[in-house]
Structure 1
């Protein structure tokens, strides 16, 4: 028996022992990545006796990936023309976009195992293979004979390599060479890796207009500058070695989030930014636009000798005045933020309160605009109180609202007009007329609003009342704050209780985009505490929507369906086949809906 045949025999024995042991690992020379794939296949309910490959018609056959891969596949199939084999390209979801055969007879063989255009070869469908395992493992693999999980694939060998976008680093697809196991050779693995690298070079030369414009400006700035240079797009980051040497990973992440937050702002900026580590930098940058779309921002980063101040120290709250709970808000305790954007907003509000300037705080609902105002006012006026005026109240009685502001004692009360962009223009005019009668003797007040680009706009005259404005970033631009913020909210919601998120639950919280911002995160934790009042909060304790990131807003009926799918997946321990059976869905339908609703495992 040859060495390769002997090895395949040992692998076949190991696989049989593995399956008979109900998933217990039996190594016997089984590569680590193959053993890990077998375990995943068992946990996902893959049947070792048959290929159950889902079929999809939603393929992008005119994509940039296909365009860049086409000449490489043509060349590769010519190189292997003397051996029965095929070369295949899949997308990032393991669906075959195209397949080229060295002979018609081998093509008929692969058709019988559904290795054809439109069929999916993800691990969750067909177990260990040269496509799905690449996507799970993140690296190239060479799967030979009994290393496949499914019986009907064991006569084949396949070498697969990931194709990564040269800008984002994300896997856009997989290149695979498949043949009979008897014809397998390590050379196939080398060939597929080299061919995937050629496709990636083609992708680099086939940048879209936005990437091209961002890359061009970054290259020009880097060429003429001796400083650290950073370019940030919606899905792309480029940084020269000076930037990587000047800032640690957490500071780079914080700066990138801040730049994405700034991208909708003026065409050029010159800001001083406090980073999470306490380093202060100067960032001079310009936005890059292609037509009406912003492709990103490119700038020069200079580390300053100044040290950033602490923007958000912990503070203890105090109760509201009895009888006025609906108007007077307790001063909250806060958690120190590592977000440069939030630190900048905090500094602006603190300076306004210090000098008695009316301040307008912009941002999405639930992002903590009022909390920021209350905190900064409370730090400078410990004996003072904040009073909120709701938009409905201001709309119904604008003169009374203005009178309350004018009647407040200076320095002891901060009146906050909440969501003033939601107040009708006629009521705003009446409110302004009443305030104008006081001349320059208007006590300190503040207002919150959505950003003008996201609302119907603010009354122009209203803006003349404010000395400054600050913008609170949404929670999705404050990813680094989530662990500390979650811990803080749990301590506030469940004081003196031993309660925390498991690592897996924290991963789900970090992956969700939180459209309702801090308010929604707090609500999710309230729901979780009802399920698990003490101890480790796990994924199953979080609301179902936390495991979903849909591409567009959902209707109530869609939300109900999504929640049912998440509940079934949780009940089945992530086993999609069992979940599909419990829901009465075909596996292919379940996979499609998981993708549609952006459900994470």
Structure 2
């Protein structure tokens, strides 16, 4: 890529995308600069679930030039199993060892970092690595997910010499990841497993939005996630405290819509017939079916924000709802209308003291690469609010890079708001 144009059809699409991200991160193709951090919990759920799987596979692979690696969700190596002395020395030399991070932003394209970035299995063979230091090896890595929430907990990687690599490495890491996820489910409480089984079984046969509650767990499908905010979750928990109310109940949502609520308890399968939680079905009630006229939802007053017109109050209400649900939002308005003030006030109202990052696209004029790197790091924190201010000032090329960057972090839980000034002079 440094030498100039090349035929993109000669490179697999996931590898080409990863090379472009590596260039964006400013990765040095000639050196390995993996940061080191030895602090981690050796008794975490992930490690506890993975150790028996790693030990079993390591025994089966002990006479082969293969290395098994377990990392956390950010690509930091936590466990390594390797029997081949030459490969052991080489991996030490390139810092593919416990405590070092193999995230793409530090070492470029590689099985671990690319799988973490894309959230799916990745295989990188020899010369496909961005760094020349890594091109003597090949690797395949698969994500390990929490079987209840679906959140990525870590990755399992298989690394070999480039000349001994096999496409079967991909199948092996996928199977190993599935084994670890099964053990994670076994480690979970019987109540969590019963709630998960009820949720999955009902989801296959229902077209309605589904929610499952236990003492410490909430499961929601995509329809329920879009429908409910934190206030609605609290109201549902109040309803499950009185199971009689779940047989047939209508509930007013925070956004003013009405839903039909039907629920049933989920038993944990124990001898004493204990309850695991409640499974709830939600159906939006069309306005024509509502027996009582819908009262307009009261829009809360935001500190530091003035305005009482119906149009302004509607905008405030929509912004609060977007922030509550973590929906990425575009806020457009004329210069000086207080878009940043409104976004900050909505953030404080909904999430209080959570981080609030502002990245002004006007600062990208001094260097888009550094600005985009700062945005990426804020998004990667997966918490709090990220505001992209004056986005209309971002150069066209950087806008395309930002689009790709946002695509890699689309699953973050915090709010993202983009501010655009209309009719800029």
TM-score normalised per structure 1: 0.48
- The residue that corresponds to 1:391 in the other structure is none
Q: Select 2:137's aligned residue among 143, 156, 159.
A: 156
What is aligned with 1:89? 70
> Cα gap change, 1:129/1:256 in structure 2, threshold over 3 Å: closer, same or farther?
same
Q: Please point out which of 100, 107, 115 is paired with 1:119.
A: 100
1:101 to 82, 87, 107: 82
- The match for 2:219 is 237
2:404 matched to which residue of 1?
A: none
Matched, 1:255 2:237: no
Change (3 A) 1:515 1:297: farther
Aligned residues, how many? Answer: 354
Match of 1:19 in 2: 2
Please say if 1:181 is aligned against 2:152: no
Q: In the superposition, relative to structure 1, how do residues 58 and 548 fare at CA in structure 2: closer, same or farther (>3 Å)?
A: same
In the TM superposition, what is the alpha-carbon distance from 1:211 to its structure 2 partner? 3.4
- Aligned position for 2:186: 205
CA distance in 2, matches of 1:163, 1:518: 29
2:347 matched to which residue of 1?
Answer: 514
Identify which of 19, 33, 51 aligns with 1:70.
51
Residues 513 and 549, structure 1, Cα contact 8 Å, conserved in 2? no
Q: Is the 8 A contact 1:547 1:599 kept in 2?
A: no
Question: What displacement does 1:142 show?
Answer: 1.5
Flag the 1:599–1:25 CA change in 2: closer, same or farther, 3 A: farther
Cα distance between partner residues in 1 of 2:279 and 2:101: 39
1:103, distance to aligned residue in structure 2 (A): 2.6
CA 1:304/1:476 → structure 2, altered by over 3 Å: closer, same or farther? closer
RMSD: 5.2
Following TM superposition, by how much is the alpha carbon of 1:60 offset from its aligned partner in structure 2, in angstroms? 2.0
Matched residue SS, 2:174:
helix
Equivalence map 1:405-554=2 (5 Å): 476-479=323-326, 483=329, 486-487=331-332, 490=333, 494=337, 514-517=347-350, 547=378
Contact 1:145 1:153 in 2 (8 A): yes
| Deviation at residue 189 of structure 1 after TM alignment | 1.4
CA distance in 1, matches of 2:329, 2:383: 26
Aligned to 1:515, what secondary structure does the other structure show? Answer: helix
Structure 1: runs of 5+ lacking an equivalent:
1-17, 240-248, 289-294, 314-327, 338-366, 373-472, 502-508, 533-538, 554-561, 564-569, 575-597
**Cα distance in 1 for residues equivalent to 2:351 and 2:58:** 54
> Does the residue aligned with 1:178 lie in a helix, a strand or coil?
strand
How far, CA to CA, are the matches of 2:44 and 2:61 in structure 1?
A: 26
Shift of 1:479: 4.0
Provide the residue aligned with 1:282 in structure 2: 260
TM-score, normalised with respect to structure 2: 0.65
Report deviation, 1:61. Answer: 1.7
210 and 119 in structure 1: CA distance in 2 versus 1, 3 angstrom threshold: farther
Give me the whole-angstrom Cα distance separating, in 1, the residues matched to 2:151 and 2:285. Answer: 34
For residue 261 of structure 1, report the CA deviation from its aligned partner: 3.8
Rate the CA distance shift 1:175–1:251 in 2: closer, same or farther, 3 A. Answer: closer
Unaligned segments of structure 2, at least 5 residues: 267-275, 298-305, 364-369, 388-393, 400-414, 418-425
1:581 paired residue number: none
Q: Which residues of 2 match residues 4-403 of structure 1 at below 5 A?
A: 18-21=1-4, 26-27=7-8, 29-208=10-189, 211-212=192-193, 214-215=195-196, 229-231=210-212, 236-238=218-220, 253-255=226-228, 259-262=232-235, 265=238, 267-268=241-242, 270=246, 271-273=249-251, 280-284=258-262, 298-302=279-283, 304=285, 306-307=288-289, 330-334=308-312
TM-aligned CA deviation for residue 260 of structure 1: 2.6
Shift of 1:90: 0.4
Give distance in 2, aligned partners of 1:126 and 1:183: 22
Structure 2: distance between partners of 1:518 and 1:78: 48
Residues 4-52 of structure 1: CA distance to partner in whole angstroms, max 9, x if unpaired?
Answer: xxxxxxxxxxxxxx1212xx55425211111111111111111000111
CA distance in 2, matches of 1:513, 1:59: 35
Higher RCO (C-alpha under 8 Å, 6+ residues apart): 2
Q: 1:474 to 1:329 in 2, by over 3 A?
A: closer
SS state of the match for residue 333, structure 1?
helix
Query: Deviation at 1:552?
Result: 10
> Residue 232 of structure 1 contacts residue 256 of structure 1 at CA under 8 Å; is this kept in 2?
no
Please give the alpha-carbon distance, in whole angstroms, between the structure 2 residues aligned to 1:259 and 1:253. 12
Q: Deviations over 1:32-79 (max 9, x none)?
A: 111111111111111000111111122122111111111211222223
1:255–1:275 contact (8 Å) kept in structure 2:
yes
For residues 346 and 59 of structure 2, what CA distance do their matches in structure 1 show? 46
